[in-house]
């Protein structure tokens, strides 16, 4: 690969960003409420594994930024050289990726731009083909079946009642097969239409609509949306009343404390709400807290700043548990499966170290005609295994509904 050349220009188009994605793949997405970034093609990529994956990705990105020629006529976060990021949940196994698309189209506060990256003189402009619809032919158990998931939850509750840890987040998976290879744009469009308040993402075959922002960095400002505590209406009881339970409140408290404790050393100021709000989605409702802070410029400078912060805070108690080390070990023991990049940081980063990293939730891993869905629940000592199975099923509805849309 030659020296990367990136050129960003303003664009007049107010077209739907997802409608710009061409075929064939790969395609990339980070879209929320009609704004964000989409991209296609690959100009550069790195795959990293292990405990040093964030640091390796940060070094690679910094080197790439230093060597690139960039012309940026817009000058907003997300213009110039941009990479899409998807990190694995655990150190081992699992592979993480950072990818620079050949073309990125973005929109922020009503301003639209287009960035082209190439190492030659040829433009990259594949035609936009009609989205291919698919039909789900069957569902089957994943690597951790519903029965085994129920047993894993019961085992975790027993360990917590014995005092080994306070919270753990356990997940299981489900396999869907389609009648033809799945067009990623089909899933993205259906998710965006149904969940406009979520961040609809696509990075290297991982597709989803996450309601949870792990970190947003803009200059010296950092923001995070923490979700923990889930409910849905049922048996004559509202989701809001269920969210007020001691189980949901304690689960949320663990998550917000985890985020604040790991982020605070990088900040000169950090503001944490005293009480959570309620985030309502079509399938579930969550307790939500929006954290804001001012970063210490001495410790958060450089192109890889967001990756460095992501390494510090991941995994929070919202997707791992508390204490962190014990929870991650118990996840590996009880799930006995590779989560891959499910529940890992996903999003984008630019050459200034700004960007957004969500948590890869409500998502699926695509491989041709096979779709692997994931869902997880926060488990505390008062959790009921049957209720957690129902909650996980509710959290799979976004992908299932998107797959089955007509």
Domain spanning 5-122+135-403, CATH architecture: 4-Layer Sandwich (3.60)
Q: What is the pLDDT of residue 233?
A: 62
The answer to whether residues 187 and 27 touch, using CB atoms and an 8 Å cutoff, is no
State pLDDT tens for residues 329-377: 999 999 999 999 999 999 999 999 999 999 999 999 999 999 999 999 9
Q: Is 151 a catalytic residue?
A: no
Residue ranges covered by each domain of the chain: 5-122+135-403
Bridge partner list, 275: none
Q: What is the pLDDT of residue 309?
A: 97
- Strands of 272-315 (E only): list them: 277-280, 285-295
- Residue of 25, 58, 102, 167 with catalytic role: 167
Bridge partner list, 97: 47, 86
* 316 dihedral zone (left: phi>0; alpha: psi -120 to 50; beta): beta
Residue linked to tokens 């590996």: 332
Distance spanning both ends of the chain, measured CA to CA:
42
Residue linked to tokens 């990756």: 307
ω into 300 cis (within 30 of 0) = no
- Strands of 102-191 (E only): list them: 103-108, 111-118, 136-141, 167-178
State pLDDT tens for residues 387-405: 999 999 999 999 999 999 8
pTM of the predicted model as reported, rounded to 2 decimal places: 0.94
Residue 221 confidence class, pLDDT cut points 50, 70, 90: very high
Q: Is 274 a catalytic residue?
A: no
- Region 267-272: mean pLDDT is 97
Bridge partner list, 202: 29, 207
The answer to whether residues 355 and 87 touch, using CB atoms and an 8 Å cutoff, is no
- Residue of 58, 116, 212, 335 with catalytic role: 212
Q: What is the pLDDT of residue 93?
A: 85
Structure tokens at 308: 């460095």
């Amino acid at each position: 690969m030659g020296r990367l050349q990136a050129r960003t220009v303003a664009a007049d188009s107010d077209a739907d960003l997802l409608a710009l994605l061409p075929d064939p793949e790969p395609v990339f997405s980070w879209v929320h409420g009609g704004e964000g970034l989409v991209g296609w093609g690959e100009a550069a990529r790195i795959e990293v594994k292990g405990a040093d994956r964030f640091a390796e990705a940060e070094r690679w990105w910094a080197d790439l930024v230093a060597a690139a020629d960039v012309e940026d006529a817009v000058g907003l976060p997300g213009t110039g050289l941009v990479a899409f990021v998807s990190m694995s949940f655990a150190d081992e196994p699992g592979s993480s990726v950072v990818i620079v698309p050949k073309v990125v189209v973005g929109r922020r506060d009503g301003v639209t731009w287009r960035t082209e990256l190439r190492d030659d003189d040829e433009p990259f402009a594949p035609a936009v083909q009609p989205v291919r619809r698919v039909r789900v032919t069957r569902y089957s158990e994943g690597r951790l079946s519903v029965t085994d998931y129920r047993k894993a939850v019961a085992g975790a509750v027993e360990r917590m009642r014995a005092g080994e840890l306070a919270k753990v987040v356990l997940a299981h998976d489900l396999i869907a097969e389609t009648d033809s290879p799945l067009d990623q744009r089909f899933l993205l469009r259906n998710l965006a239409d149904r969940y406009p308040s979520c961040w609809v993402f696509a990075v290297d075959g991982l597709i989803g609509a996450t309601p949870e922002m792990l970190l947003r960095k803009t200059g010296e400002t950092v923001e995070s949306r923490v979700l923990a505590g889930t409910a849905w209406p049922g048996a004559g009881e509202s989701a809001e009343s269920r969210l007020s339970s001691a189980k949901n409140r304690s689960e949320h408290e663990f998550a917000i404390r985890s985020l604040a404790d790991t982020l605070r050393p990088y900040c000169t100021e950090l503001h944490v709400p005293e009480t959570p709000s309620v985030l309502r989605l079509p399938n579930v409702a969550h307790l939500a807290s929006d954290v804001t802070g001012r970063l210490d410029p001495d410790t958060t400078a450089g192109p890889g700043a967001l990756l460095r912060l992501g390494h510090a805070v991941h995994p929070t108690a919202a997707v791992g548990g508390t204490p962190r080390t014990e929870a991650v070990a118990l996840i590996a023991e009880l799930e006995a499966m590779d989560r891959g990049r499910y529940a890992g940081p996903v999003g984008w980063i630019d050459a200034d170290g700004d960007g957004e990293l969500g948590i890869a939730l409500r998502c699926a891993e695509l491989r041709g005609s096979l779709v692997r869905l994931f869902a997880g629940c926060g488990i505390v000592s008062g959790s009921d295994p049957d209720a957690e199975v129902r909650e996980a099923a509710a959290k799979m509805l976004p992908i299932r509904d998107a797959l089955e849309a007509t």
